[in-house]
Amino acid sequence: MTTAKSALNPAQRGVAIAALKGEKFDVLVIGGGVTGSGIALDAASRGLRVALVESGDLASGTSSRSSKLIHGGLRYLEQYDFKLVREALQERELMVTTQAPHLVKPVAFLYPLQEKVKERTYVGAGLALYDALRGFQRALPNHRHMSQKGIHEVAPALRLDIVTGGIQYFDAQVDDARHTMMIARTAAEYGATILTQARVESLLRLGKRVIGAKVLDRTTGETIDVSAAVTIMAGGVWSDLLHEKFGITPGYQVRMSKGTHIVVPKSAIQSKSGIILKTSVSVLFIIPWGDKWIVGTTDTEFTGDRNQPLATREDVDYILAQANKVLTPTLKPSDVLGVYAGLRPLVSKNTISSTTKLSREHIVDHPVQGFVSIAGGKYTTYRVMAEDAVDHAAPDLRRIVPDSVTKELPILGATGYQTLVNRAELIAEEMKLTKAQVIHLLDRYGSEISELESLMVADPSLREPLDKNLPYLRAEIHFAASHEGALSVADVIARRTRISFETADHGLSVAAEVAKIIGPLLGWSAAAKKKSIAEYQEQVAIEKAAVSRLTSTVSESDSKMNSASESAMSK
């Protein structure tokens, strides 16, 4: 059950601002992505006084724009990065079983083979190693070999003229933005002070030692001096800019790798399983997501605006071309409902190496007393990164700091999840909902479903769907503002739910209703409500224009490829 501590809302925000003004913290965390949220949880669960400040919304950067996968990184085996793969696989098992079973779910992938003997032997050996590296705790099934007939039964979309068989294996998937937000709320449950829309303007120093930061509350324009024994920066792709802003010379540089994904309807690809394809530079995932597919990703160096990574026509062409090598019918640009791009922060000391060859392992830097930064890594290994960051910061606290306890620490909603799933029919009767609706809520809130039930009892209208074509209930929109820290229409549609890429209109049709539900909770005037709606409409207009520009016509290379594919299939 939710406690007042874990709820993020306007009342909590006021308490947080007062705390930042009046308390001295052991640890100040800069950045509310998955790594920063993980650091806040790790430090708070060790009994430290912790504050986290984020300049935007939780997970508003890279941590909401990933492939939505919790995986070991199959392709890193070819780079002999066994340590990273083993570490990630072990974290995957923990998330599925202990830490977040309500949010992290197993997902099957098919690896189609185009050669009968050598490729099957090579890929099979790799997947056997992939299974072995996870250790003795095995929540997910082992891989299995499949014939051409078996592959066709599972994935009729795969071309039988080139696919000779395949191998099925399992990884896991997650709603990255929701998972990050729940980690931050779990940190709050253990005493961390969380404040979004709060930008660090500069560091506070006593001699050469960092003793906190000057923080701007972007909602009021007020500046707050936050006192902390050690500041940990988890700035992701903004790390280099922040180091420069703070006048600190780090021991590493961050290079940005852009990952673009397209979203297509479920009907566009006939398959009961996800699919993974090896490309000349990386891998391509076809990932099930409700009644959609997410297809990606690219891995190209990025040097543009970190705040608005945009997909290019080349990105979309590449994804379509790689997927269409094995799919029938082929994907068309007109199938694309949405496009999103995220930036991976890759640590580098060598500006010559390609981003596809940079390790996804992280680095922790301690350039001056009272200041630690961390960058790199994978979403899947956020917990290990957080533990390492706090371990490196601990000496600056000048007292004994307990070891990390997050390895088996459930995040909010995880405790009792399987029992609740077993009782789904009974819960549905109690809540006057369908079993499918209860499962939907359990897979987003876990044991916090009791909090949503309380809201529905107080206001029965919250039992109704936000829209008849969406799975979300009105109670979930209310909860986003009353418990999950949403401060705008965009926060709700883009991150607390994923309506922004799950609907053809990007959620424009529900924006006014979302504002109507959350407005009273956020103390909005009529003008503030209109402003938040308008800001989201403007954001969608930019995104729709970009998608239209990227997918309006088929490129010449696509036309040639499609013609070649049709010719091959007709033979």
Residues of the chain with pLDDT > 70, as a percent, come to 93
Strand partners, 24: 227
pLDDT band at residue 567 using 50, 70 and 90 as cut-offs: very low
pLDDT band at residue 7 using 50, 70 and 90 as cut-offs: very high
Stretch among 57-61, 156-160, 310-314 having the lowest mean pLDDT: 310-314
pLDDT band at residue 76 using 50, 70 and 90 as cut-offs: confident
86-104: per-residue pLDDT in tens?
A: 999 999 999 999 999 999 9
b/e code 346-378 from CB counts within 10 Å (16+ = b)? bbbeeeeeebeebbbbbbbbbebbbbbbbbbbb
Mean pLDDT estimate for the chain? 91
Q: What is the CA radius of gyration of the chain?
A: 24
The yes-or-no verdict on residue 354 having pLDDT over 70 is no
Q: What is the CATH number of domain 10-63+177-252+361-408?
A: 3.50.50.60
481: tokens are: 């503002």
Say what the pLDDT of residue 569 is: 38
The yes-or-no verdict on residue 355 having pLDDT over 60 is no
Which residues contact residue 212 at a Cβ distance below 8 angstroms, ignoring those fewer than 6 apart?
Answer: 25, 28, 203, 204, 225, 226, 227, 228, 231
Which residues contact residue 158 at a Cβ distance below 8 angstroms, ignoring those fewer than 6 apart?
Answer: 110, 112, 151, 152, 166, 271, 275, 326, 327, 328
The yes-or-no verdict on residue 553 having pLDDT over 60 is no
Whole-angstrom Cα distance, residue 80 to residue 84? 9
Q: Tokens 């499918």 — which residue?
A: 436
Between 350 and 6, residue with greater pLDDT: 6
Whole-angstrom Cα distance, residue 508 to residue 541? 10
Inter-residue contact 177 to 495 (CB < 8 Å): yes
Inter-residue contact 340 to 308 (CB < 8 Å): no
Amino acid at 141: P
pLDDT band at residue 311 using 50, 70 and 90 as cut-offs: confident
483: tokens are: 């418990």
Whole-angstrom Cα distance, residue 310 to residue 553? 18
Of residues 274, 294, 269, the one with CA closest to residue 109 = 274
Q: What is the CATH number of domain 417-551?
A: 1.10.8
493-543: per-residue pLDDT in tens?
A: 999 999 998 888 899 999 999 999 999 999 999 999 999 999 999 988 887
- HEC string of 106-159? EEEEEEEECCCCHHHHHHHHHHHHHHHCCCCCCCCCCCEEEEHHHHHHHCCCEC
370-426: per-residue pLDDT in tens?
A: 999 999 989 999 999 999 999 999 999 999 999 999 999 999 999 999 999 999 999
Inter-residue contact 445 to 178 (CB < 8 Å): no
Please determine, looking at this structure, whether the domain spanning 97-172+255-356 carries the CATH number 3.30.9.10: yes
Say what the pLDDT of residue 489 is: 98
115-127: per-residue pLDDT in tens?
A: 888 889 989 999 9
Other Cβ atoms less than 10 A from the Cβ of 83: the count is 12
217: tokens are: 């509350």
Kind of pairing between the strands at 69-70 and 165-173: antiparallel
SS3 473: strand
Say what the pLDDT of residue 557 is: 43
Supply the pTM of this predicted model.
Answer: 0.93
Which residue ranges make up each domain of the chain? 10-63+177-252+361-408, 97-172+255-356, 417-551
CA dihedral in degrees (126, 132, 133, 138; nearest 10)? 130
321-330: per-residue pLDDT in tens?
A: 999 999 999 9
Say what the pLDDT of residue 371 is: 97
SS3 27: strand
b/e code 59-76 from CB counts within 10 Å (16+ = b)? bbbbbbbbbbbbbbbbbb
228-247: per-residue pLDDT in tens?
A: 999 999 999 999 999 999 99
Host H or E run for residue 109: strand 105-113
The yes-or-no verdict on residue 176 having pLDDT over 60 is yes
Instruction: Average the pLDDT over 185-203 and give the result.
Output: 98
Q: Please report the beta strands in 196-302, taking only residues with DSSP state E, as ranges in sequence order.
A: 198-206, 209-217, 223-233, 253-265, 274-278, 283-289, 292-296, 300-302
22-45: per-residue pLDDT in tens?
A: 999 999 999 999 999 999 999 999
Residues of the chain with pLDDT > 90, as a percent, come to 76
Burial tier of 291 (Cβ tally within 10 Å: 0-12, 13-18, 19+): exposed
Whole-angstrom Cα distance, residue 190 to residue 53? 16
Inter-residue contact 199 to 220 (CB < 8 Å): no
pLDDT band at residue 349 using 50, 70 and 90 as cut-offs: low
The yes-or-no verdict on residue 462 having pLDDT over 70 is yes
Whole-angstrom Cα distance, residue 264 to residue 126? 30
Q: Tokens 């197993």 — which residue?
A: 106
pLDDT band at residue 83 using 50, 70 and 90 as cut-offs: confident
The yes-or-no verdict on residue 303 having pLDDT over 60 is yes
363 phi, psi to nearest 5 deg: -135, 140
Stretch among 99-108, 127-136, 435-444 having the lowest mean pLDDT: 127-136
Say what the pLDDT of residue 552 is: 62
Q: Tokens 């509310």 — which residue?
A: 32
Say what the pLDDT of residue 503 is: 87
Q: Please report the beta strands in 19-83, taking only residues with DSSP state E, as ranges in sequence order.
A: 24-30, 50-53, 69-70
SS3 374: strand
